[in-house]
Structure 1
Amino acid sequence: MASDRDVLPSWVKPSHYDIFIHDIEFGGNFTYQGTLAIKTNIDKNDGFNDLVLNALQLKVHSAELKTGKDSNEAKNITYEEKRHRVTLDFGEKIEYSGEATLTLKFEGTINNVMAGFYRSKYKPKGEVPASVAKDDEFHYMFSTQFESCDARRAFPCFDEPNLKATFSVSLEVPKDLTALSNMPEKEIKPSKREGFHTVVFEPTPVMSTYLLAWAVGDFEYVEAFTKREYNGNNLPVRVYTTRGLKEQGRFALENCHKIVDYFSETFQVDYPLPKVDLLAVHEFSHGAMENWGLITYRTTAVLFDPKTSADSYRNRVAYVVAHELAHQWFGNLVTMDWWSELWLNEGFATWVGWFAVDHLYPDWNVWGQFVTESVQTAFQLDSLRTSHPIEVPVRDGPEVDQIFDHISYLKGSSVIRMLSSHLGEKVFLQGVANYLKKHQYGNATTNDLWNALSKASGQDVNSFMDNWVRKIGFPVLTVAEEPGQIGLKQQRFLLAGDAKPEEDETVWWIPLGLQTGDSMTAASTHATTALTEKETTIRDVNDSYYQVNKNLTGFYRTNYPPARLVKLGEARENLSVEDKIGIIGDAYANAVAGYGSTAGLLALVKRFQDEQEYLVWAQIINNIGTVRSVFSGAQDVSDGLKKFELELLSLATEAVGWEFKEGESYLVGQLRAQLTLTAGLLGHKGTVEEALRRFDLYMSGEDKSAINPSLRRTVFSVAIKERGESAVEAIQNEFLTTSSIDGKEICLRALGHVHTPELAEKILKFIFSDKVAMQDKHTGIVVLANNAKARPEVWKFIRTNWDTTIYPTLSGNLVTLERFLRMGLSKFADDKVADEIAAFFKDKDNRGYDQGLKVIDDTIRSHAKYKNRDEGVVREWLKANGYVQ
């Protein structure tokens, strides 16, 4: 075991937990009692005086260790809060090795911070059993969230991923409520508590503590069965919700049973549990959690109503369901040995999730979506000095939450896509299947995966993939042209554009994906497949056409000569969606870093006025929006960029219109939503007028069908920007009364488009009121932080309310706090603001969100450098092209 890890003593290991949760207080302080028996194996020849387990915010009443015929009571029980530990001191030396049973009685609290065993508030639909926990305004359901290290908040345990065991769970609950856990119900036992009984569940397979789960609430479900048989049976698949919502689980249900069968065939390992349950949880810190057999989801990630939900949520539900089901193999069946290799779980589940969605919905152009969302987002974080390798050292549990980020998920999955493309999908999946079969019910390392893939492919995968996983950052490939040949040079890409020699020592294996020929349609793959040195020259390249990194399968930026970028823009009708996204994204990133210019980016995207693909427009709007944000402090440049963007997308906006046509594709609907939102916020006259007309019809109650569900965000956002306070009040009321499962999220995203500091302050107070659930607070912050008019108010609000509101509200779950700060503060482009933020947090205990503060500082200073360098250049280009007088 690595010496730099702060882990539990290795001489005691658990084999089975018997957990009984009882005397739950359904209201008041929400306390509960627990009785726990842990079978362990002790291997310590020189004896021991105490045992150490993980525990956080628990009170252990008693502990007894049975070793053979002897029994030892803990004489002293002490806690180490910062290390999340409890020490059971038996008062004398125990000389014993072998099997032993540790029995504990303890007490905990069902908290409200979305970690451990916690409660979620909601407003019920229909009749509610009297036993449901409630207060004056809300009812509550109870569920668990144990990843990464929060099982220790619910019960004392050996809470490390490689300390696997089996689990038997029993829950004492009211007879009129439903209890769920990872495994099916085994039996129901009577309880001494009137109106209660104890639900006993079957033992689980061997698994890590973070995958254990249980839930209690007023649940109902919809059910389907897999088409394949597992041990002679078609598996039951259910989506559970609180009362009144189950029908919105049908879309997830239909996807679920198909994906279970698809993954069982693809991975050549049958889904190993006797059931698959999906549970919608009303307050959730993440999108979902892959608990084996009882997968929990944020409501908007599992529920969908074709009549009232925006169509984008259909895509989200399909993907998140697939991602969590992929974890049933990647993470649950085979678990990373330690949190440093989290990417083995998350990178694979991300790639495989999209792989499954592509199988079910080939018309969605999933890999185009992957390139514009996953790859480009991964580039953003990994272009900072404060990034980290995919496989990153993790000292202890509290550190791990900060690597549940775009590197582990999105860079990890991008690198997997790159490797799969290189090896070939069939060979790659066979290697993965071999890996899963060899390590099932155990723990594995990155090297174990590389070995399986090397054996399947006949290539030394570790030799060319090691740097991608264990080194920080990624390269930019600079292209220099000479007649009949090109020169290629790789260097580390930094957003600040100033990599020092000691930061640029990595030599990446770069799959070139080089296409060349007389024309794009006649192009073929060049014989040179990869760059394995800092720089080289490639011959036999046709000057009339060539392209590097076809379909953006390689995780790197390409910096073309300006004239070549123009030629690729001219030939765009023959480029794939992924190619267009890659070329635009690279031109933007190179402009920010100083390898290219903003003028070159603007000239390139200006050619895309007739573009018809949603995913390409999404990339353009995202990149130009960031450029506008950076230069928002210079009024003439800001106005010129706004005029430029409005001209750029007006034709496409007018062409796509407002009406959804019968049989229209999903992507056309998404294009309409994207273009009308952006054009409306830019002030496109026709879009603004139509949005306000529909808003008035809807809000007056005259015509509630005036707004298509997929255009609510457009209409609400434009109304906020144009109408100000009256629209804010109307949409806050809509937030409080909406019955649509995605309605609250859409309202929050719209509220962020206010145009005055006073309204921004009002919305910030609303976001931090009890009316907005914990999970939704950062959603509102994101849009406000993207809004240059509101951004200073976000920082002012954080400074002013840190001690009284923000830290007390969010610090119970540091994942939420870190995400909130990163989203709320990283959009500035001003060194003075970076200095203010650094000074404000200098003397605070930043453990648990310190990495986020580094990312904020790096991002702000990189954009400030870009602003200072390019402002004059952008102004000149805008003047030359008639956008600035």
Structure 2
Amino acid sequence: MSTVVSETPASKFRLPTDVKPTHYDLIVRTDLEKLTFDGSVTVSLDVKEETKTIVMNSSKLKLGKATVYPAGSQSDPLTSDPSFDEKDKRVSFSFPTAFPADTKAKISVGFAGELTGSMTGYYRSSFEEEGKTKYYSLTQFEATDARSAFPCWDEPALKATYSVTMVSKADTVNISNMPITSETVFSPNDHADLKTIFPDVNEDWKVTKFETTPLMSSYLVAFANGPFEYLESSAKMPLSGRTIPLRIYATKDLIHQAQFALDVKAKVLPLYEQVFEVEYPLPKLDTLVANDFDAGAMENWGLITGRTSALLLDPKKADLAAKKRVVVVQSHEVAHMWFGNITTMEWWDYLYLNEGELLMGEVIIEGTAYPEFKPNSEFITLHLNRALALDSKLSSHPIEIACPNAESIGQIFDSLSYSKAASVLRMLSAYVGEDKFLKGVSLYLKAHLYANTVTNDLWAGISESTGLDIISFMDNWVKKIGFPVITVTETPGGIKVRQDRFLETGLAEGKDNETIWNIPLSILTVDANGKSVVDRTAVLDAREKTFKLDTSKIYKLNAGTNGVYRVLYEDAHLSKIAAEVARPNSAFAIEDRMGLVNDALALSKAALIKLSNALTLIDALRNEQEYLVWDGISGNLSSLAAVWWEDESIRGLLDAFRTSLFLPFVKKLGYEYPASENPDISQLRTRAIEQCLAAKEQSVIDELKGRFAQYMKTGDDTVIPADLQGAIYRAAVIYGGKDEYNAVKAIYNKAPTPTSRISAMIALCQSKDHTLLEESYEIALKGARDQDVVYFLSGFASNDLTKREVVTFFQKHYEEFYKRFESTFMMRYLVETTYSGLSTQKDLDDMNAFFKDKDTSKYHMGLAQSLDSIRARIAYIEHSSQDVRYWLEAWKNGN
């Protein structure tokens, strides 16, 4: 297949270093009727080396002449026409005389652009009001799209201060990173300077000026204009004693669902100041909710932005998953106000230095603010297992990876930069102790305030707080590809442990198995009183090592499942472990039980243990009561069903096994959700019902269908608990006809909450009627918002009837999709989602053939990973079909 892999040195893609920006005066006018913007930027420069040419980043903009004012010069200002480099998204201005080194200058450039629906740069989003489509504008600059809003030095290390002025229609609202200093209706007398930039501006317009920002990277600049409303709160900060005003903005139709996100922000913001021991540096912190948004959310300094499903919920109709989503997103983005915004990675190679902070945002701080969600335990499913799944492919990449150009930067916003990065930090925190780890992070931030960093800067801070050589301990975890599997063999005096790189198809060999990691083994044993004891000093820092241990008693490596590795035991010990997990007062904590299940299924996929052994372990957990353990079991069994989706006998047996595990919970817990119920019980009920629906359990199907029928008859949606929306909508479409389909489509068109809309989208793709499916394909292609297309493809890919149909659909409209999403991260997700259900050699061959002549440079990593996934499923079917069939038949027959 065709791809564009550059052999050019990384420096070729970086801007020249002869000048450095120090301050931007940015003026932007927004016209929401014409859907255009224009303005002027004046940048103060330090001239580092003598030069006649000034090179900036610019993309998709019309630029005027540049005017340069050399500092201290009595001569007239110099002007230059722009010279564009479209490929590298740059503009050059050449002047007749050179600017001497070690001097200062100012450059001013006028610009104009269109407010498109691209979800990148400065773009438009839409909403419906009184039957009419209306628009507002906002920014999304990460990673390299500030240049498409105004010409700038668009690299994270080129920090500067920004003074933003917005010109807009008088009846709209302007927001930016900083608070407003003045806002007045345009006056020719008061704003004569603006009249020269915008000759046609009049009293219908207003001028909004904002405070100057601290030193910051261009990708964190943000501004927005529209008919926004807001809710307001505040937070008292523990270090400074200041009260920080907090707002959340949205359009009138959505603002009533924004209170919970505002409350979360108020709760977590002071906790970060306390943990990081660094004062929050800005005078306010806003959040803006957007209908059209490429990512989940964005940590613009002082102005967080994000999509509706990440920031909104109706407290009267909110499911627990939606609440957790809002908590996670707001906490994550607030953490960035320090980790990423004050201290920023030097270049995109080090993206994980920003995004690995999700350990703070989604575990440490969330665990303090919302302990009922058990975020440390849930991290294993949400992040660790996801990271290990991606990192077990030959096509994986290291956490720290060279990103010379825009195409490569866009591809690393994945589970390795986020989830694996956070996982190795969580492992390090468990190894050195959370207090020392957080102290090290604080030292790191304090040493690099308003500056840029590389990996060793973080390790240096934690080394200082612990007295350990963290740099050499952690080096391979971030710079090498993959992760190890620990093979445990019992010896007369203990255990011998060996590390090899783990692949989803088995152990790596040769050059793919050269890395030696420093692995905290965290060996769990049981003392004479039956209490768990964990040795956190044991480290495997060689290929093999022997450790003394009483193997007659139960033991387990990776206590707490903090380690970024799998553990492979001998069959005899795995049987002992299965017996131990079945005990009511097991020595294994919830995190251990979750890790054991995930390891067993992953090892069976790699043919390192039999799949039947993994199922035996799951079967032993029938008396398990913890939701998160069942959540892990649920995900793993769904994955197995997706692998054997075309083998009716195995799929039928798997469905019977799933039903036997989850139906008792349905019978015990029912279908109602009491308001005061423990979150774990609510989530367990939901997961059990969903599993029984997927396994085609008739009693559950009848209940869910009956509830939707009652809703259709009466219009009363109280018969559809928020937590069961997805399951009920799916059941209605799968087992209903056109009436049910149309009723779900009506919900999609006028969804009361973001969650119900997503549930409806996925459900519309579950029909067994091709006529109705054609309607869903048409919605996906022409009716869905750009950000929502992936939900439709996900729905089709999870429907056995359309697993291959959706591939045909995607390929037929490939050029259309490519053009539609070429400037966003979305193309990668569309490829991964479309092909996620395939499992045969023909599927693999056809996929290779289709992409052979395509330019895959924007998504070649995701494509390679998708191909690896199909190969792994083919191998899984080949080596485990007979084993899983025999075990399931024996289980069914009671043997």
TM over 0.5: yes
Q: Distance in 2 between matches of 1:258 and 1:631?
A: 46
Report how far residue 725 of structure 1 moved: 4.0
2:797 maps to a residue whose letter is A
Deviates more, 1:257-266 or 1:743-752: 743-752
Which structure ranks higher in relative contact order (CA pairs < 8 Å, sequence separation ≥ 6)? 2
Q: Distance in 1 between matches of 2:93 and 2:857?
A: 27
User: Runs of 5+ in structure 2 lacking a partner?
Assistant: 1-7, 187-200
Question: 1:868 and 2:878 equivalent?
Answer: yes
Question: 1:12 and 2:24 equivalent?
Answer: no
Structure 1 residues 820 and 218, CA gap change in structure 2 (3 angstroms)? same
Report how far residue 398 of structure 1 moved: 3.2
Q: Distance in 1 between matches of 2:68 and 2:484?
A: 55
Structure 1 residues 490 and 752, CA gap change in structure 2 (3 angstroms)? farther
Report how far residue 820 of structure 1 moved: 1.5
Q: Look up the match of 1:802.
A: 814
Question: 1:526-548, CA deviations, whole angstroms, 9 ceiling, x for partnerless residues?
Answer: 47511111112222233221011
Q: Distance in 1 between matches of 2:459 and 2:498?
A: 27
2:111 maps to a residue whose letter is F
Asked whether the 8 Å contact 2:359–2:426 carries over to 1, the reply is: no
Q: Distance in 2 between matches of 1:297 and 1:840?
A: 35
Asked whether the 8 Å contact 2:27–2:40 carries over to 1, the reply is: yes
Question: 1:421-472, CA deviations, whole angstroms, 9 ceiling, x for partnerless residues?
Answer: 1111111111111111110111111101111111110000111100001000
Aligned positions of 1:408-487 closer than 5 A: 408-487=417-496
Asked whether the 8 Å contact 2:665–2:685 carries over to 1, the reply is: no
- Candidates 834, 857, 876, aligned match of 1:847: 857
Q: Look up the match of 1:132.
A: none
Question: 1:674 and 2:683 equivalent?
Answer: no
Q: Look up the match of 2:509.
A: 500
Q: Look up the match of 1:177.
A: 172
Q: Look up the match of 1:62.
A: 65
Q: Look up the match of 1:112.
A: 117
Q: Look up the match of 2:146.
A: 151
Aligned positions of 1:258-269 closer than 5 A: 258-269=267-278
Question: 1:719 and 2:714 equivalent?
Answer: no
Asked whether the 8 Å contact 2:387–2:419 carries over to 1, the reply is: yes
Q: Distance in 1 between matches of 2:233 and 2:678?
A: 27
SS in structure 1 opposite 2:496?
strand
Aligned positions of 1:774-785 closer than 5 A: 774-785=786-797
Q: Distance in 2 between matches of 1:416 and 1:333?
A: 20
Structure 1 residues 237 and 567, CA gap change in structure 2 (3 angstroms)? same
Q: Distance in 2 between matches of 1:438 and 1:706?
A: 56
Question: 1:789 and 2:784 equivalent?
Answer: no
Question: 1:734 and 2:740 equivalent?
Answer: no
Question: 1:772-804, CA deviations, whole angstroms, 9 ceiling, x for partnerless residues?
Answer: 21111112222322333221011010111112x
Question: 1:826 and 2:836 equivalent?
Answer: yes
1:183 maps to a residue whose letter is M
Asked whether the 8 Å contact 2:568–2:603 carries over to 1, the reply is: yes
Asked whether the 8 Å contact 2:31–2:169 carries over to 1, the reply is: no
Q: Distance in 1 between matches of 2:456 and 2:544?
A: 28
SS in structure 1 opposite 2:804?
helix
Q: Distance in 2 between matches of 1:339 and 1:422?
A: 28
Which aligned runs of 4 or more in structure 1 are off by greater than 6 angstroms?
none
Q: Look up the match of 1:51.
A: 54
Q: Distance in 2 between matches of 1:513 and 1:566?
A: 21
Report how far residue 681 of structure 1 moved: 2.6
Asked whether the 8 Å contact 1:681–1:717 carries over to 2, the reply is: no
Asked whether the 8 Å contact 1:148–1:401 carries over to 2, the reply is: yes
Structure 1 residues 662 and 171, CA gap change in structure 2 (3 angstroms)? closer
Q: Distance in 2 between matches of 1:459 and 1:88?
A: 50
2:775 maps to a residue whose letter is K
Asked whether the 8 Å contact 2:65–2:81 carries over to 1, the reply is: no
Deviates more, 1:426-435 or 1:227-236: 227-236
Question: 1:741-762, CA deviations, whole angstroms, 9 ceiling, x for partnerless residues?
Answer: 3221121232343335554443
- Candidates 138, 141, 154, aligned match of 2:136: 141
The count of residues paired between Structure 1 and Structure 2 equals 868
2:739 maps to a residue whose letter is S
TM-score by length of 1: 0.95
Report how far residue 62 of structure 1 moved: 1.5
SS in structure 1 opposite 2:243?
strand
Q: Distance in 1 between matches of 2:39 and 2:530?
A: 68
Asked whether the 8 Å contact 1:351–1:416 carries over to 2, the reply is: no
Q: Distance in 2 between matches of 1:6 and 1:542?
A: 57
Q: Look up the match of 1:89.
A: 94
Asked whether the 8 Å contact 2:666–2:689 carries over to 1, the reply is: yes
Q: Distance in 2 between matches of 1:56 and 1:350?
A: 35
Q: Look up the match of 1:299.
A: 308
Deviates more, 1:726-735 or 1:286-295: 726-735
Structure 1 residues 214 and 884, CA gap change in structure 2 (3 angstroms)? farther
TM-score by length of 2: 0.94
- Candidates 40, 44, 58, aligned match of 1:39: 44
Structure 1 residues 835 and 78, CA gap change in structure 2 (3 angstroms)? farther
Q: Distance in 1 between matches of 2:789 and 2:888?
A: 38
Asked whether the 8 Å contact 1:240–1:246 carries over to 2, the reply is: yes
Structure 1 residues 626 and 94, CA gap change in structure 2 (3 angstroms)? same
Q: Look up the match of 2:192.
A: none
Asked whether the 8 Å contact 1:377–1:410 carries over to 2, the reply is: yes
Deviates more, 1:204-213 or 1:703-712: 703-712
Q: Distance in 2 between matches of 1:758 and 1:646?
A: 31
Asked whether the 8 Å contact 2:658–2:691 carries over to 1, the reply is: no
Report how far residue 566 of structure 1 moved: 2.5
Asked whether the 8 Å contact 1:172–1:196 carries over to 2, the reply is: yes
Q: Distance in 2 between matches of 1:580 and 1:512?
A: 17
Asked whether the 8 Å contact 1:644–1:883 carries over to 2, the reply is: no
Report how far residue 60 of structure 1 moved: 0.7
Report how far residue 232 of structure 1 moved: 5.6
Report how far residue 351 of structure 1 moved: 3.7
2:28 maps to a residue whose letter is I
Asked whether the 8 Å contact 1:757–1:790 carries over to 2, the reply is: no
SS in structure 2 opposite 1:768?
helix
Aligned positions of 1:338-349 closer than 5 A: 338-349=347-358
Q: Look up the match of 2:405.
A: 396
Report how far residue 231 of structure 1 moved: 5.4
Structure 1 residues 89 and 678, CA gap change in structure 2 (3 angstroms)? same
Aligned positions of 1:376-391 closer than 5 A: 376-391=385-400
1:792 maps to a residue whose letter is R
Q: Look up the match of 1:581.
A: 594
Q: Distance in 1 between matches of 2:31 and 2:237?
A: 42
Q: Distance in 2 between matches of 1:527 and 1:750?
A: 47
Structure 1 residues 724 and 521, CA gap change in structure 2 (3 angstroms)? farther
SS in structure 2 opposite 1:846?
coil
Percent identity over the alignment is: 34
- Candidates 18, 22, 28, aligned match of 1:21: 28
Asked whether the 8 Å contact 2:655–2:696 carries over to 1, the reply is: no
SS in structure 2 opposite 1:493?
strand
Question: 1:254 and 2:263 equivalent?
Answer: yes
- Candidates 646, 650, 675, aligned match of 2:659: 646
Q: Look up the match of 2:778.
A: 765
Q: Distance in 1 between matches of 2:361 and 2:821?
A: 32
Deviates more, 1:226-235 or 1:717-726: 226-235
Asked whether the 8 Å contact 2:490–2:551 carries over to 1, the reply is: no
1:159 maps to a residue whose letter is D
Structure 1 residues 71 and 479, CA gap change in structure 2 (3 angstroms)? farther
Asked whether the 8 Å contact 2:359–2:425 carries over to 1, the reply is: no
Deviates more, 1:715-724 or 1:848-857: 715-724
SS in structure 2 opposite 1:569?
helix
Structure 1 residues 584 and 305, CA gap change in structure 2 (3 angstroms)? same
- Candidates 615, 618, 621, aligned match of 2:631: 618
Q: Distance in 2 between matches of 1:546 and 1:700?
A: 58
Q: Look up the match of 2:567.
A: 558
User: Runs of 5+ in structure 1 lacking a partner?
Assistant: 127-135
1:812 maps to a residue whose letter is S
Structure 1 residues 482 and 528, CA gap change in structure 2 (3 angstroms)? farther
